[in-house]
């Protein structure tokens, strides 16, 4: 297959706020000046923000706010930026605007199907009612120009009781386009095992299961996700290479990894792209898809991720497989397949 024919048009791992176009963030900053947006932030969040020099512009009233939201170089630094950006999505209109800005940007890039991870608890924390979140998601899932499907991030940092409570509330009135659940947040501090009951409930309701594992923590986190949560896919999983038995297991069972190359380098999982584990995983026969994760924060695009993989020496054959895997492992395979080919518009 010629490289020119590979036009990635679908992905499975992209966070809603992580894909927020910078121009929309600038609008939000105008709407909600930092001093006001952060006025109700709990002290533990403010203390977390203060640890990071790149966020100083948001905390000092006389400094130019927003100057360096993307100036992190570690995973906790990225989480701080990400958490802080959530304080500017404060109303149902902000949330609807975010969905619209992201969808419009995806369409402009040629995307036709995306499973978008939505960290619902973070929007509720800003005072947006769950009903308003669900209405906006339902509406956006009906766009004619792109099929958006939702993976609800139960956010591990809020703990299992909160995750289960949110899941039950969502199941009572599920938004249109909801296809799966995941756990984002601090993997190293909040392992997947305690969330077993939530994942069992989600599975019983026909939702797809994935989890962020093997990104900020090592292979034991992936093992735990597989054993305790019985997930269908692994978000990242790229540190599986630290355990050859795990790599073998993933390949044998055909459990796919949602690989996000640029993000892994920007958050310090690997010191450089050249040091990334994807070539090893590919050589071992582990199935993978390529994804952007948080394209705004990592200054990447889906096409850019394919270029990054190519620069790592991943073959055109394997890149073609990665595209086909999107359809194979999509949580709404029909929506991914019937109207749109992951390769290009039908």
The alpha-helical segments, DSSP class H, found in 126-205 are 130-141, 160-172, 196-204
Q: Shortest Cβ distance from residue 33 to Zn ion (Å)?
A: 29
Q: Which stretch binds Zn ion (CB under 5 A): 64-72, 120-128, 271-279, 288-296?
A: 288-296
CB-based contact 130:122 (threshold 8 Å): no
Nearer to Zn ion, 17 or 90 (CB): 17
Q: Shortest Cβ distance from residue 144 to Zn ion (Å)?
A: 27
Rounded Cα gap, residues 164 and 202, in angstroms: 10
Q: Which stretch binds Zn ion (CB under 5 A): 58-66, 98-106, 134-142, 292-300?
A: 292-300
| DSSP states along 247-289 | HHHHHHHT--EEE-HHHHHHTTSSSSGGG-SHHHHHHTT--EE
Residues with a known catalytic role = 215
Q: Does 293 bind Zn ion (CB under 5 A)?
A: yes
Q: Does 332 bind Zn ion (CB under 5 A)?
A: no
Q: Shortest Cβ distance from residue 307 to Zn ion (Å)?
A: 20
Q: Which stretch binds Zn ion (CB under 5 A): 103-111, 136-144, 158-166, 293-301?
A: 293-301
Paired tokens of 335: 């929506």
Q: Does 153 bind Zn ion (CB under 5 A)?
A: no
CB-based contact 218:242 (threshold 8 Å): yes
Q: Which helix (H) or strand (E) holds 14?
A: strand 10-15
CB-based contact 178:170 (threshold 8 Å): yes
Q: Shortest Cβ distance from residue 93 to Zn ion (Å)?
A: 26
Size of the site for Zn ion (CB under 5 A): 1
Contacts with Zn ion by CB under 5 A lie at 293
């Amino acid at each position: 297959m010629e490289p020119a024919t590979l036009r990635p048009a679908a992905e499975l791992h992209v966070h809603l706020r992580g894909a927020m176009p910078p121009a929309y963030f600038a609008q939000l900053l105008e709407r909600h000046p930092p001093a006001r947006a952060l006025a109700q932030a709990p002290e533990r969040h403010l203390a977390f923000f203060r640890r990071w020099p790149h966020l100083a512009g948001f905390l000092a009233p006389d400094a130019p706010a927003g100057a360096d939201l993307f100036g992190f170089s570690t995973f906790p630094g990225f989480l701080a930026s990400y958490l802080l950006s959530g304080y500017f999505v404060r109303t149902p209109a902000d949330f609807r605007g975010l969905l619209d800005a992201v969808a419009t940007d995806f369409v402009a890039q040629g995307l036709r199907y995306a499973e978008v991870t939505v960290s619902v608890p973070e929007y509720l924390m800003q005072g947006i009612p769950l009903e308003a979140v669900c209405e906006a998601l339902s509406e956006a899932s009906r766009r004619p120009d792109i099929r958006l499907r939702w993976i609800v991030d139960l956010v591990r940092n809020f703990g299992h009781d909160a995750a289960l409570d949110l899941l039950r509330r969502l199941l009572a009135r599920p938004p249109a386009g909801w296809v799966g659940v995941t756990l984002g947040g601090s993997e190293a501090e909040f392992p997947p095992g305690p969330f077993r009951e939530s994942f069992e409930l989600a599975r019983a309701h026909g939702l797809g299961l994935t989890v962020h594992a093997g990104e900020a923590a090592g292979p034991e986190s992936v093992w735990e996700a597989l054993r305790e949560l019985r997930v269908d896919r692994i978000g990242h999983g790229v540190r599986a290479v630290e355990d050859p038995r795990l790599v073998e297991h993933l390949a044998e069972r055909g459990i796919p990894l949602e690989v996000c190359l640029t993000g892994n380098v920007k958050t310090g999982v690997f010191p450089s792209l050249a040091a990334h584990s994807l070539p090893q995983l590919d050589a071992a026969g582990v199935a993978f898809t390529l994804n952007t994760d948080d394209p705004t924060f990592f200054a990447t695009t889906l096409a850019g991720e394919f270029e990054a993989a190519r620069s790592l020496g991943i073959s055109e054959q394997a890149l073609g497989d990665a595209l086909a895997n999107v359809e194979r492992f999509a949580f709404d395979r029909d929506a991914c397949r019937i109207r749109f080919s992951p390769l290009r518009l039908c």
